[in-house]
Chain A
């Protein structure tokens, strides 16, 4: 048997714990008494808020307008009345403006049979516009506005469109379930993307721990002709990062500071492709996504279809609550996610999972001194030297850290995962980036 593809350098093998939810079908999350819709759910400039307290909104109405080149529209997840506009903290610790919405009235789309739109008559440019208007961002977690990503510079050519169905983060099964349940829709979305990008070849990368998804997607790929290929990948974290995925599938390496398009490739998540299908065919802007609510602390781990702005409190309630030994709530995956300090944190477009972790799962961590064992250096998939970077950062030598290519750090968490001294390396990298940028600005 041919050995499976993977990226060559670094990486770790955390226990995947996907069996908690990989058999759970996606179900709709209950709609509770309020939504908190942050005006910054993407990388780039925050949205300009279009509503005022007291305004009535409809389902899918534009409430936040993109306010820059790298920015994405935000739509109302439910019909209702705007209660207030306030400042909240997102799970990543940043402060942002948010619209508090009290649902009332009728849903225009929920539960209705929607006649699929005829998108074949639309040109590539019109489709691009549709993607922008629907506020679609990369749903893998980075939330980069998709329309910006699909703006191919005139001198570049898309040789490979890589669809990311890797889902390498432990615990999460949102993309996995989406591939199983909505495979036909994802392929429709792929057709749309083909028209927009006109790629020479399409690859769908799926890790080998999802054999059922590989089967289903593989069969559909064969039916659709030879252009689409499903590539099973060897299990290794962080394969879902676009640079690692491209290295694994195409063998090409994205140079430091460059984008995938510089090597003729575009990477999109399966969730994003499904969102494009919904936006173009069903005329539904992006206000809903699949979120895995899991962890040993959750009584009934589930995959939920959640409207953006739903509070974490409501989702956990929906899944039967948490057990008594839960000690940590994380938004995102366990490797790259953020610990939450409030149950009122809302789900955003980039939220792929909510984890309630017990003491047994996180283990005790007492930070000790670095013993220079070099394990972090060995596992860094980018080839950075976390020991040196961290030392420079803690001694406030941010420019020195920048010269060691700090900005190439993807914060994948491999270094902190293997560190025997429990040093918060990723937090250090984040601090370094923040302070270096601050210095450059001032």
Chain B
């Protein structure tokens, strides 16, 4: 008598788990809304959405003008970084890859640092130059690494490392020669800063992120096969080069976009995909939505800590993610190191 074997993944399972992660996200966001330097009661938070809180109430101003845009930005950035991490780990077949590994973020950082040096503002100048820096890096990556030598992963990776080193050197140069208030802005930005959020930014990021997620999700099964080896994927009918090109480009653009508005928030793009794989397996049709939504919740929580832990002062959120992320990463390496080293 044979035991019955169930289908490993069904659309129902993906939808159910995604909805659960959405619920977690809403809860985390609601809790985050209540927390902060100024006291806001749960009743006032509920009142904000039911309309019973007066528009000129100071609590309403704090919630709507300060906390809500920041929480939404944290959610979008956390979503994007985790999404990027999942996709890059699959494309590069490397569980240690993060979305910053190709150096797109260092190009963004270079642009942002340049904007800060020139005294440009955070509402337009910094994100604009930062995104321009990201686009420049993507162009360099594609023309140096990808076009000349095909889409070979190690070539792309190596090109990324070199680009990273180059831009980091320029950033260090500016840090070394600037000694006024701009230095603080720069360092804060380099460790991830969500405090500059504005609704206009969110309206710009959100739709692009939605489209990018849909494109990447449509490659979920391709990614599954690519993790089993590019030649294997080809044998099984995947147009590997095309899939890789589209995914690299989309993720790189999204990284450039979110980094432009939030700075360099490390570790989340590495850890959340890992946790996702540990909890939900390696099928990207499930992993992409749950890890991205989980990343959104995680970054909202981390940023809530960043703005409350030494209140009324603030920490860059990257400090929190790295502080939690690094020990976790070492734990993973110790536990799974032997498995990863297997070629």
- A and B part of one assembly: no
- Which A residues are within 8 Å of any B CB, using their own CB? none
